[in-house]
Amino acid sequence: MNAEQYKKLVDELIELLDEGVYIVDKYGTGIHYNSAMARTEKVAVDDVLGKKFHEAFPDFNLGESTIYSALTKNRPTGSKQQTYKNLYGKEITTENATIPVIVDGETVAAIEVSKDITELRSITDTLRELRGEVAEKAEPARPQIKKYTFDDIYGENPKFQAVIERAKKAASNDASVFIYGETGTGKELFAQSIHNDGKRAGKPFLAQNCAAIPESLLEGILFGTTRGAFTGAVDRAGLFEQANGGTVLLDEISAMPYDLQSKLLRVLQESYIRRIGGSRDIPIDVRIIATVNEPPEELMAKGLLRKDLYYRLNVINLSIPPLRERMDDIELLANRFADKFNKRFNKELWMISDGALKQLQSYDYPGNVRELENIMEQAISMAENEHVLTGKHLSMPNHIVNKEPVIRREDDVPLDAYMEAVEKQLIANEMVRFNGNISRAADALKIKRQTLQHKLKKYGIK
């Protein structure tokens, strides 16, 4: 069977289906499009066949396109609702399932199966509007607080995956958890995930940064106050009472005053609290998750963390690796953040160039994942009407852009060889930093463009 006969066979086959079927090749060009799909999308078959999918549906946001996701990221999508305008400006709502077709590791096509739910969507929207009017009269809407789960934690690095698996095991029991991780590694995200994946999920999760509150107020916030205990004191439940049955996250617990740490230890041992100025012991059932952003051994040596409190909290310990120790996750995280901020800022920067990726992978990230997220947010929010994120969009401090260790001269290495090695490293770093742009790299190195070209050839840097 030749290619033409095979295409005829596929066309006849998909015409028999009630669902709409749309197949594009690896370039995004429509090669099969049945009548059911044409009826769903209210266009003619010839409007789609032979055209790139984004040309056939020019009003469609690439970031929402399941076909684009299948072709560029090899991501299948199951049962996703999409609303878009067809070639003639008519709004269509469909429910789609899309898969990439992968042969020998290469995506050669994408298949989308779709059904029209425009009418159902219209009815649903009307019902929601009516329900919204009733709810608005009854009670003003309250902003929803984001609840994180393990599905919100991204990373394929083996060391990081081991931490996730350990955290999931922690979620299945009720023991205290002690989390160490540098600033920006996602300690609260892990803490919330442990809570939301465990038996306390339906109960309160309350977090308190111990470094953000003056010492004089922190005790009252944690344990509550009794009227008359001090000037202005009122009867007020503390964090532990409010979270009864749930989880309390004590962030940066080493910033808690040393004396207060001993009171917290007693709470953990006795399972009751007493409000400031009160005489009544109040039983509590609270799981404690504590975090620090410095190694606990160092904090104890400095006298900032009580050893007895640490050992009481450290029933289950998690040590989240910094981003510089899982650089193989940079591409995954950058793409996740790109998806997030494309939606937020209504941009279409859906691809990260190899040069930009190398630049992202050449940075030490003292602020860890949070810093990478900020870098991606800045890059996408400031971008113009472009589709590829390149090095020009990235803004990172220059003093830590390269990870390579400083080359040290050994006693038996001649000075001229050492100087050439240093020069080669500096040039390579600047070329990565500026995404291969020779002119910009030459400006940064304060040399002529022709001189840099000569040195690139000399050192074999491409």
Q: CATH number, domain at 14?
A: 3.30.450.20
Does residue 160 fall inside a structural domain? yes
Select the more confidently predicted residue: 9 or 99. Answer: 99
Give residue 16's Cα distance to chain centre.
42
Q: CATH number, domain at 336?
A: 1.10.8.60
Q: Are residues 301 and 189 in the same domain?
A: yes
Does residue 409 fall inside a structural domain? no
As given in the structure block, the two tokens for residue 270 are 């006795």
pLDDT at position 298 is 92
Reference 75, options 65, 85, 87; nearest CA is 65
32 has a pLDDT exceeding 60: yes
Strand blocks (E) in 219-367? 224-225, 236-237, 247-251, 272-273, 282-283, 287-292, 316-319, 351-352
Does residue 100 fall inside a structural domain? yes
Q: How confident is the model at residue 134 (pLDDT cuts 50, 70, 90)?
A: very low
403 has a pLDDT exceeding 70: no
pLDDT at position 7 is 74
Q: Are residues 163 and 302 in the same domain?
A: yes
Q: Of all helices (H) and strands (E), which one includes residue 162?
A: helix 158-171
Radius of gyration of the chain (CA): 29
Rounded mean pLDDT, 90-118: 82
Q: Are residues 98 and 204 in the same domain?
A: no
For residues 238 and 213, what is the distance between their CA atoms, to the nearest angstrom? 14
Report the range out of 107-121, 132-146, 352-366 with the highest average pLDDT. Answer: 352-366
Rounded mean pLDDT, 276-305: 92
pLDDT > 70: percent of the chain? 85
Look at strands 247-251 and 205-209 and give their pairing.
parallel
Does residue 26 fall inside a structural domain? yes
Sign of CA dihedral 336, 340, 343, 345: negative
Residue recorded with tokens 């004396």: 259
Residues 277-287 pLDDT 10s = 888 889 999 99
Rounded mean pLDDT, 100-109: 88
Q: Are residues 284 and 167 in the same domain?
A: yes
Q: Are residues 207 and 312 in the same domain?
A: yes
Does residue 183 fall inside a structural domain? yes
Q: Contact 166/317 with Cβ under 8 angstroms?
A: no
Q: Are residues 361 and 424 in the same domain?
A: no
Rounded mean pLDDT, 413-420: 79
Q: Are residues 446 and 392 in the same domain?
A: no
Rounded mean pLDDT, 116-128: 52
For residues 3 and 12, what is the distance between their CA atoms, to the nearest angstrom? 14
pLDDT > 90: percent of the chain? 39
Residues forming beta bridges with residue 207, ordered by sequence position? 249
Q: Are residues 245 and 343 in the same domain?
A: no
- Which residue range forms the structural domain that includes residue 236? 150-319
Q: Are residues 381 and 422 in the same domain?
A: no
pLDDT at position 119 is 53
429 has a pLDDT exceeding 80: no
Let me know the angle formed at the C-alpha of 187 by 294 and 391, rounded to the nearest 5 degrees. 90
462 has a pLDDT exceeding 70: no
Query: Last residue of some domain: 263, 293, 319?
Result: 319
Look at strands 236-237 and 224-225 and give their pairing.
antiparallel
Q: Are residues 21 and 154 in the same domain?
A: no
For residues 335 and 376, what is the distance between their CA atoms, to the nearest angstrom? 9
131 has a pLDDT exceeding 80: no
Q: Are residues 264 and 243 in the same domain?
A: yes
Q: Are residues 205 and 334 in the same domain?
A: no
Does residue 243 fall inside a structural domain? yes
Q: Of all helices (H) and strands (E), which one includes residue 35?
A: helix 35-41
For residues 63 and 182, what is the distance between their CA atoms, to the nearest angstrom? 32
Q: How confident is the model at residue 413 (pLDDT cuts 50, 70, 90)?
A: low
Does residue 31 fall inside a structural domain? yes
Q: Contact 100/74 with Cβ under 8 angstroms?
A: yes
Q: How confident is the model at residue 404 (pLDDT cuts 50, 70, 90)?
A: very low
Q: CATH number, domain at 252?
A: 3.40.50.300
Average pLDDT, the chain: 83
The amino acid occupying position 293 is N
Rounded mean pLDDT, 123-130: 47
Least confident of 177-191, 262-276, 436-450: 436-450
pLDDT at position 63 is 63
Number of domains in the chain: 4
220 has a pLDDT exceeding 80: yes
Residues 390-400 pLDDT 10s = 988 888 765 44
Q: How confident is the model at residue 127 (pLDDT cuts 50, 70, 90)?
A: very low
* Phi-psi sector, 79: left (phi>0), alpha (psi -120 to 50), beta: left
Does residue 309 fall inside a structural domain? yes
pLDDT at position 132 is 46
pLDDT at position 124 is 45
Least confident of 189-203, 232-246, 294-308: 232-246
For residues 437 and 432, what is the distance between their CA atoms, to the nearest angstrom? 9
Write the CA distances from 410 to 82, 300, 403, integer angstroms.
62, 39, 21
Rounded mean pLDDT, 229-239: 79
Residues 187-218 pLDDT 10s = 999 999 999 999 999 899 999 999 888 777 88
78 has a pLDDT exceeding 80: no
Q: CATH number, domain at 451?
A: 1.10.10.60
Select the more confidently predicted residue: 458 or 319. Answer: 319
Q: How confident is the model at residue 409 (pLDDT cuts 50, 70, 90)?
A: low
Least confident of 1-15, 192-206, 312-326: 1-15
Rounded mean pLDDT, 158-163: 96
114 has a pLDDT exceeding 50: yes
